[in-house]
Amino acid sequence: MLLIILAFLSFYPIAEDYAANGWLSSMDRNAAEFFRHLITPRLTRAVLFVTFFGSVGAVITVSVIVAIVLILKREMYRFSALALTIGGGRCA
């Protein structure tokens, strides 16, 4: 644990300086300016629609449907893998 803390303390100033003054910072500003001109209400609705599928509610709904199908098909190994994956993600 001490090694991790020491590595963080030695790397943080380098990363902070690089991100604030390097090409990454200017690239980030350029990308933000580019996308700012593309924003429209229609694009916003489309992006919100796409990101819905990564929401907790969507993931739970799809997982429950897949779990029911796996149980009905008696695919217990795959069901176990699904349950461990979804349940394990909750632990992280």
**Distance in angstroms (rounded) separating the CA atoms of residues 23 and 17:** 11
pLDDT digits (tens, 9 = 90+) for 42-75: 999 999 999 988 888 888 899 999 999 999 999 9
- Give me the pLDDT at residue 19, please: 67
The predicted model scores a pTM of: 0.51
The residues, ordered by sequence, that sit 6+ positions from 66 with a Cβ below 8 Å of its Cβ are: 82
Instruction: Give yes or no for residue 38 having a pLDDT over 90.
Output: no
Instruction: Say if residues 79 and 70 touch (Cβ distance below 8 Å).
Output: yes
